[in-house]
Each structure stands twice: as C-alpha cells, then as structure tokens.
Chain A
Amino acid sequence: MKFRTLMLGAAASFAMAPMAMAERGADGNVNIIYWQAPSTLNPYLSSGTKDIEAASLVIEPLGRYDQNGALVPYLASEIPTVENGGVAADLKSITWKLKSGLLWSDGSPVTSADLKFTADYCMHPEGGCAQLAKFEGVEGVEVVDDLTVTVTFSEPKPNPYGPFMGGQSPILQAAQFAECLGARAPECTEANFGPIGTGPFTVTDFRPNDVIQMEANQNFRDASKPAFATLTFKGGGDAVGAGRAVLETGEFDYAWNLQLAPDVIAKMAEGGKGKTIAAFGSLVERLEMNMTNPSPDLPEGERSTAKHPHPFMTDLAVRKALSMAIDRDLLVEVGYGQAGRPTCNLVPAPALYASDNTDCLTQDIAGANAMLDDAGWVDSDGDGVREKDGIKLSILFQTSTNAVRQDFQALIKDSWAQIGVETELRNIDGSVYFGGDPGSPDTFQKFYADVEMYANNFDGTDPESYLAQRTCDKHPGPDTQWQGENINRFCDPAYDALVAELGKTGELEKRGEIAKKLNDMLTKESYSILPLVDRGRVSAHANSLGGVVLNTWDSELWNVADWYRIK
C-alpha cells in the first residue's frame, strides 16, 4: 500500500514536474529519524524534546520563534506587541487574534474557545501539566470574540510570550480533549496519541516509542503545502545509527541532533548521501564549582549545604586558576567541531543578552600556577599536588555518562594536573544524575562532588527565569527535597537585588544590560560557573530534501510544511 502511494507520488511528480512544487502531496513520502523515540504526541503530558518536536508536525501554537529567535505568527494573525496595542501598557495582559478561516484537520473551525480550553487543560490543578511553567502568572484567559482571547497576568510580565507561543505550548482541540481534563488526562490514550491539529500533517498510526506514520492534512491553511503526501517518523537506536541512515545509506531523509564527535560525523558525511547542518542556541556546557562542602564525613543532610562552606572552592584564586588552566578551543575541537564554540558566558545568545566577556578563552597555565602560588597554595610535600594549611587541592569531578563528556573529563583532568590539582573522575548514568530522586546521592542537584559538568539552556529567547535560578533562596537542600536550581550554591545579595530589578524592567535595552551584568557576576567576576562550550545543534538531511532550516529556538521541524523533494 505504502509502496504504491509512493510509486503513484513518484509517477505524478514525473508527469507534472514543473508544477510539482506547488501541489500538496506531490513529493511522496519523507522519512525522519529521531534516535530518541516519542512516547506521546501531547506535549502537555511530556516535555521531552522528542515528544514536543514530533507533536509539532501535527499541532501548532499561535506563534513560533524562527531560526534567529524572532517571533513569527502561525495561527495568530500577528504577534501582539506593546507598539501594536496587543500587549497592555502595564504589561499585565496580552491579546491574541487568530487568523480567520482556520480549520482543524477534521474540518471543524478553530475558535478562541480552543485557546481558552488549552489554557484550562494545562492549568488544571490535578493534570500534572508538563508545560505549566509556560502559564506561570496567568490569572485568566478571556474569550473576547470567536477569534480573540486576552490572557491576563497577576503581575506585570515583561515577557508575555509564555502561553500559546513556541513548540511547548501548542493549541489543542477543545472538542477532542473535553473529557480529558485533570486526572483523566492519561485515560485519553487515543487523543494523546493522535491529536487533531492544524499542522501540515495528521497522524494515521502512532506506536509509542517506535514509529509514527502521518499523512498530509487536507485542511492545512496553505493549499499548496505540505509537499509530501506521507511522513514516517522513526524513533529509537542511537545517534550513530541515525546519522548513518541519512549520511551513509540514504534510507532516511532527516536525522535529528547528531550528538557525535566531529571526526565521526565528518567520516559519515563522506558517504555523500546527505549533509549536516548546524545552528546555535543558548545551550552551554559548563562546570559548576561547589561552594559548599560535599565531604562524606559530614552528617547526611548537611553535606553540600550552606552550613559548611567548601574548604578551598570558596577561594576565588582557586576557581579562577581552574578556569585559566582549561583550553576551551581544544575541548571544542575534540568534542563538538562545527557544533560548538568556546564561550565564557552563561547566556551566549541572543545578541541582546550576550556579554562580550572573552577573557577566559586563552589557556594560561603559567598564569594559573602563579596565581595559586600567590594565594599560598604550594606543593610543599613534593607529591605534585598543591596544599595550604593541610588542605590538598584534590577534586572529585562528576558528570553524566556520555562519550564526549568523558573525553572532556580526561582533558580537564590533564590540564588541572599541570597546575598541581589532583582530580578524581566519576561518571553517573544520566537517568540517575538528572533525576531528582532525593534518596540518591548521585543527582546533580545534591552535588556530592567538588566540580560537576552538564549543559543547560533556556526556553525561548528571554533569559530572565534562567538567571533568576542563581538567587540565594534557590539552593537545593534537604528541606526542599533537594529541589532547587541554584546548583553550585552561589549566593550574593547584590545578585538577588539585580534579579529583582530585571523582573520589573520592561524596556528591552535596559533588560539586556542587566542580564549581561548578571551573567558577568556569575562568570568572570566570581568564577563560580565556568562556561566551556556554546553547544550548537547538528542535524543531517538527505541531499534530495529541500527547504530545511535548522532552528534551535523552537521545534526543529518548525517549517516542515516548506520541505520538498529536490528533483
């Protein structure tokens, strides 16, 4: 059956070659492979990237971020701003207007009731909505008319583009999900696995954690799109296999997020069946310096808490020397190639918020050694490790299990050995390390080590909540079940005050300035966080697949409607 449609598609495209690009479904089938398989197509129940991106083929938000991080209307007729009156002057409400004539894939019209329902669905107290953070501060959603809603916030919101914006917060059809509110959400398996949407494709078969088959949405708002009649979305395996299927064997057209060493990707690209594309977002691989004492000799519940400052990490000279000893260019060359850039910033993009801090980029072993000498850290007993007052510079360095991270660990350990710092490495399975189980000693929140490495980014283009994670009251600790985002237990009242100021500032230029200052306080002033690499995203597409624009600010499949087969 599938083979026949494929053949028919191919035959049709031969017959009408000049017009092929302008006709829906003329280009047959497109194959996408994600090495993590989607578990559901309802992004409100699962916030995994794989689930959100698969869902973005079917359901759409009012607006998306484009490849430069700018806002583009999708279902909305335009992006509301203070200038065009869509956002209230007091920043307490935003009014969205839908395009007219939009239809769901089942043929019924899209109305403002669907928007209100989507908000109710996520904000239901028993629902356990994965995207609740998008609706933070929302006081209510009012239906103004059939196509207009107003979202009101309890406090002024300098960045009101949380609800209905970006891949994490698409619109659900009220009719389909009406019975699925709150605790009943998981009972609607059929709806969660095949949401009715406005996107370019509709689901024909969904197999959780395996494969999704889709066909073109006959009611899509652009009559000439999508160019493909059917789509196969395969999940599972590993990044090597996915890259191979696109670049070397040509079985698939698009492979997502090839997290592989640059020489491995380069070798695959020699296969000649496809090419790799890279783009940068806000993801930064960093080292966190533990400001509190993780010693196992302390009683449980007091390890890595503000009660006991770290014996040597609290010394600025040590942290700075550790940063100076690292060769970030080398790390990028070994681990990321074209998909990475050395950085000294926690907020590397967008340009408005990115600081010009570059002083860490050159490795300076001699300078680091001199700095430690001056600070009184000397190797007095000749074992190659510096000490002061009986405290040795001996570091336990942990991260999650991942080939590139283990290479980084080895390289950093080597650099630190050159400045007389001894390092013990540890790697922990990602499902434990990034899990928040308060019973496990190995989570990154508990931070029972001196230094740890991971990567993090922020949603959308506004770093406010990201920077606000570093205030004193967000320390993970036993009283909060170790839930907290201030991983390294940094604490500076001046920083907290500046974060509060950022929350009250609406003017973009001013926000940028404050964000840069906050970034510098965490990095080049305190060296409590050592950013290493600004990590881009590398994906691959077949030579015959056209129209792909890699986007790191939203779903990678954001413009799948524009994809076509190059003939």
Chain B
Amino acid sequence: MTDTLQIDPIEALKDKEPSKPPRSQWRDVWDQFRKHKGALFGGGFLLFITLFVIIGPYIWTLDAQKLDIRNKDMRPIYTWLWDGSAKIAWNRPLGTDNLGRDMLANMIKGGRTSLAVGWAAMVLALFLGTLIGVLSGYFKRLDGILMRFTDLVLSLPLLPLLLVAVTLFRQPLRAAFGPEEGMFILIVGVIGITSWMQTARIVRGEVLALKEREFILAARSIGTTPGKIITRHLLPNIMSPIMVSATLGLATAIITESALSFLGVGFPSDFPTWGKMLADSVPRMTEYPERVLLPGIAISLTVLSVNYLGDGLRDALDPRVRGR
C-alpha cells in the first residue's frame, strides 16, 4: 500500500526499460521453496536416506543375510552409554538380530526395498486416483460408471485379492523378471491398484466444485479443449489434496507392504524391508527396543520428510502463495 503512494503519477505513465531480465518461473518457485525450512529439511533428509540406501551397501559391505549365530542379540553401541555390560561391538554399530544378522546392513537393504515399494506404489495409486477422479468429476457421462467401479474396488476384500494375484501372476512374473523383481512388480501392482480409491474420491469432489467456477467457465467459453482445461486449470488447483494423498499414500504403501510380508504373501523371508523388520521384532519389543524403534523411526522420518517436502512444493507451486 505504502509503495503506491510514493510513485509519481507522471513517471508511472512513462515506459521504462526493464532494469533486470525477467525472472524465470522456476527461479521464483525455488526462492519460495527455500523459505520453507521444513521443506528444505524434508528434501535434505529424503536425499540423505535415498543416498543411504543406494550408496550404503558399497560403504558398509557386510551381507545383510549373513548369519553369525555366535554374535546374535548384540545391542547397538549407544546402549553402552547407560549399560556398560551390554553386548556390543564396534563392527556391529546397530547390533544384530536373533540370528546374528547385522542390523545396519539390514536397515540399508530393507530401506532400499521399502522406499522403492513405497514410491512406486504411491506413484501408481496417485496416477490412477487422479486420472479416475478427474475423469469422473469432469465428464458427467463417465461419472456414474467410474464411481460405481470405485465402489466395487473399495468393497473387494484385500487378502483374497492378493492371494489370487499371487497365484495367477507369480510364476509368469518370476519367469520374466526373476524371483525378486517379479515379486516387487506384483506387490507394487497390488498395493497400487487397491489404494487409489480415496484419492479418486477426493479429486473428484474437488473437480466437481472447481468446474462450476468462473475461470473454468471463462476458459471453456474461449474454446479451450477439455484436455487443456484439465491440465492447465484443474490439476494445478487440486495440487494440495493430491499432495496430502501422496504423503499418506507413501506411508500406507510401506505399511501395507509390511502387513503383506507379515501375512506371508509378500517378499520372501530372506528379503528384509523396514516394515517387516518392525513386524518381526514386536514380540521382543521390551528386550530389544532398538529393533522396532530403528525401522519405525526410519519409516516415520521418511514419511514426515515427504510430507514437508510436499507442503513446501505446494506452496512454491501456488502463485497465490508465492507472491507473499
């Protein structure tokens, strides 16, 4: 407000040479993003955890599946701080499990799988959910059938569905991609196609409300094609519920994967994931709290950082917020 008062009205009518070249949109996005401390932290942590699981195995070369029964049930080295008699060793910084497998190596290998499953399943679910939500919200003719289809998928019992999928597709996928990759595709697929419904519902609701707004009407009146309206006008405006779905989806995917392994329809038992490490250690929770806490904290922090990152991205991408 005060700025405008100082401007000389005559000066304002003159054309001025731009003193600076125009700032690119992405520059603005980055500037806004940088202001968000949580987002920076989230992005940093996500980068760290991704590097940790990718580069980790080259630095910490111990085999996650190597049994070392004499050195079983070791505690992490930090327990030494309060319990001098704890069984610890410097070459096992996070301790070992009940069969003597190294926890650090397992965290690295488990994180690899968990992150990959989480991201892949989340992206798949998000894609399906947004697609179906936008289509059924925007095109009235598709709405009925797509929403009934959503009802159908929502009411399917997950466990039999999984068992059917495993029975029908495991052998061909195993033959085509090998035992581990085949199982990976199967699990990501199953989690993805059974968790998009919430997103679809919410996206549809938002689209229903948005498409009655004036700017959509304006866009339509100047002859913008539905495809363009969706990509240019609708999608950017429903980013925030999508982002929320994404963060929740990542957590759900990691947890669902652990529940699947827990029920014996997931990865083979010699294939660690964070979720499975957590589930397996629950009976020994009081004795070896680190075995549940380490994977539990890893999952939580990952989800948290994705959440902050999503928050920051949403703010940075929204021009209404960016101006302030």
Is the pairing of A and B real?
A: yes
Known pairs A267-B287, A410-B269, A442-B167; A427 contacts B179 (CB<8 A): no
The answer to whether B99 and A424 have CB atoms under 8 Å apart is no
Residue B165 interfacial (CB < 8 Å): no
Q: In chain A between 410 and 461, which residues have their CB closer than 8 angstroms to a CB of chain B?
A: 410-411, 413-414, 424-430, 432, 439-442
Interface centre among B263, B264, B287 (most CB of A within 10 A): B264
Binary A-proximity of B254-279 (CB < 8 A = 1, otherwise 0): 00000000011100111000000000
The answer to whether A401 and B264 have CB atoms under 8 Å apart is yes
CA of A309 to CA of B166, assembled, Å = 28
CA of A403 to CA of B175, assembled, Å = 28
Contact residue among A240, A263, A428, A439 (Cβ-Cβ distance under 8 Å from B98):
A263
CA of A24 to CA of B287, assembled, Å = 43
Q: Chain A contacts of B268 at CB under 8 A?
A: 424-427
Residue B283 interfacial (CB < 8 Å): yes
Residue A356 interfacial (CB < 8 Å): no
Contact residue among A267, A406, A414 (Cβ-Cβ distance under 8 Å from B67):
A414
CA of A328 to CA of B188, assembled, Å = 38
Residue A261 interfacial (CB < 8 Å): yes
The answer to whether B269 and A264 have CB atoms under 8 Å apart is no
Residue B171 interfacial (CB < 8 Å): yes
The answer to whether A334 and B179 have CB atoms under 8 Å apart is no
Known pairs A407-B98, A407-B99; A428 contacts B280 (CB<8 A): no
The answer to whether A406 and B269 have CB atoms under 8 Å apart is yes
Contact residue among A240, A401, A410, A428 (Cβ-Cβ distance under 8 Å from B270):
A410
Known pairs A425-B270, A432-B163; A263 contacts B264 (CB<8 A): no
CA of A197 to CA of B183, assembled, Å = 52
Residue B69 interfacial (CB < 8 Å): yes
Known pairs A334-B98, A401-B263; A263 contacts B69 (CB<8 A): no
Q: Chain A contacts of B163 at CB under 8 A?
A: 429, 432
The answer to whether A409 and B175 have CB atoms under 8 Å apart is no
Residue A547 interfacial (CB < 8 Å): no
Residue B65 interfacial (CB < 8 Å): yes
Residue B284 interfacial (CB < 8 Å): yes
Known pairs A411-B67, A442-B167; A261 contacts B283 (CB<8 A): yes
CA of A407 to CA of B99, assembled, Å = 7
Q: In chain A between 385 and 415, which residues have their CB closer than 8 angstroms to a CB of chain B?
A: 400-401, 403, 406-407, 409-411, 413-414
Q: Chain A contacts of B179 at CB under 8 A?
A: 424
CB distance from B92 to the nearest CB of A (A): 17
CB distance from A454 to the nearest CB of B (A): 14
Q: In chain A between 31 and 51, which residues have their CB closer than 8 angstroms to a CB of chain B?
A: none
| Residue on A nearest B172 in the bound complex, by CB | A296
Q: Chain B contacts of A414 at CB under 8 A?
A: 66-67
Residue A260 interfacial (CB < 8 Å): yes
Known pairs A409-B269, A429-B263, A440-B167; A263 contacts B287 (CB<8 A): yes
CA of A429 to CA of B159, assembled, Å = 11
The answer to whether A428 and B264 have CB atoms under 8 Å apart is yes
Q: Chain A contacts of B65 at CB under 8 A?
A: 410
Residue A370 interfacial (CB < 8 Å): no
Residue B25 interfacial (CB < 8 Å): no
Q: Chain B contacts of A296 at CB under 8 A?
A: 171, 175
The answer to whether B270 and A413 have CB atoms under 8 Å apart is yes
CA of A21 to CA of B94, assembled, Å = 54
Residue A7 interfacial (CB < 8 Å): no
Known pairs A296-B175, A411-B67, A411-B99; A403 contacts B286 (CB<8 A): no
| Residue on A nearest B66 in the bound complex, by CB | A414
Q: Chain A contacts of B171 at CB under 8 A?
A: 296, 441
Q: In chain B between 197 and 241, which residues have their CB closer than 8 angstroms to a CB of chain A?
A: none
Question: Please, how many residues of chain A have a CB less than 8 angstroms from a CB on the other chain?
Answer: 31
Contact residue among A267, A400, A442 (Cβ-Cβ distance under 8 Å from B284):
A267
Residue A366 interfacial (CB < 8 Å): no
Q: Chain B contacts of A428 at CB under 8 A?
A: 264
CA of A100 to CA of B269, assembled, Å = 58
Contact residue among B66, B167, B269, B282 (Cβ-Cβ distance under 8 Å from A427):
B269
| Residue on A nearest B174 in the bound complex, by CB | A296
Q: Chain B contacts of A407 at CB under 8 A?
A: 98-99
Q: Chain B contacts of A426 at CB under 8 A?
A: 268
Residue A375 interfacial (CB < 8 Å): no
Residue A22 interfacial (CB < 8 Å): no
| Residue on A nearest B166 in the bound complex, by CB | A442
Residue A330 interfacial (CB < 8 Å): yes
Binary A-proximity of B156-177 (CB < 8 A = 1, otherwise 0): 0000000100110001000100
The answer to whether A427 and B264 have CB atoms under 8 Å apart is yes
| Residue on B nearest A240 in the bound complex, by CB | B283
The answer to whether A403 and B280 have CB atoms under 8 Å apart is yes
The answer to whether B99 and A410 have CB atoms under 8 Å apart is yes
CA of A413 to CA of B270, assembled, Å = 10
CB distance from B291 to the nearest CB of A (A): 12
Q: Chain B contacts of A430 at CB under 8 A?
A: 264
CB distance from B65 to the nearest CB of A (A): 7
CB distance from A282 to the nearest CB of B (A): 26
Q: Chain B contacts of A439 at CB under 8 A?
A: 167
The answer to whether B69 and A264 have CB atoms under 8 Å apart is no
| Residue on B nearest A426 in the bound complex, by CB | B268
CB distance from A69 to the nearest CB of B (A): 32
The answer to whether A425 and B284 have CB atoms under 8 Å apart is no
CB distance from B165 to the nearest CB of A (A): 13
CB distance from A374 to the nearest CB of B (A): 27
| Residue on A nearest B183 in the bound complex, by CB | A426
CA of A441 to CA of B170, assembled, Å = 10
| Residue on A nearest B271 in the bound complex, by CB | A425
| Residue on A nearest B262 in the bound complex, by CB | A401
Binary A-proximity of B39-83 (CB < 8 A = 1, otherwise 0): 000000000000000000000000001110100010000000000
CA of A439 to CA of B168, assembled, Å = 10
Q: Chain B contacts of A427 at CB under 8 A?
A: 264, 268-269
Q: Chain A contacts of B287 at CB under 8 A?
A: 263, 267
Q: Chain A contacts of B265 at CB under 8 A?
A: 429
| Residue on A nearest B263 in the bound complex, by CB | A429
CA of A400 to CA of B265, assembled, Å = 10
| Residue on B nearest A440 in the bound complex, by CB | B167
CA of A171 to CA of B263, assembled, Å = 38
Known pairs A407-B98, A410-B270; A263 contacts B284 (CB<8 A): yes
CA of A252 to CA of B43, assembled, Å = 50
Q: Chain B contacts of A403 at CB under 8 A?
A: 280, 283
CA of A409 to CA of B263, assembled, Å = 17
CA of A267 to CA of B268, assembled, Å = 28
Q: Chain A contacts of B264 at CB under 8 A?
A: 400-401, 427-430
> Closest 7 CB pairs between A and B?
A401-B264, A406-B269, A429-B264, A414-B67, A264-B283, A240-B283, A425-B268
Binding site for A on B (CB under 8 A): 65-67, 69, 73, 98-99, 101, 163, 166-167, 171, 175, 179, 263-265, 268-270, 280, 282-284, 286-287
Task: Given contacts A330-B69, A401-B263, list 18 more A-B pairs with CB under 8 A.
Answer: A240-B282, A261-B283, A263-B284, A264-B284, A267-B287, A334-B69, A409-B269, A409-B270, A410-B99, A414-B66, A424-B268, A427-B264, A427-B268, A427-B269, A428-B264, A439-B167, A441-B171, A442-B166
List 23 A–B pairs whose Cβ atoms lie within 8 Å, in order of A's numbering.
A240-B283, A260-B283, A261-B98, A263-B73, A263-B284, A264-B283, A296-B171, A334-B98, A334-B99, A400-B264, A401-B263, A403-B280, A407-B99, A409-B270, A410-B65, A410-B101, A424-B179, A424-B268, A425-B269, A428-B264, A429-B265, A440-B167, A441-B171
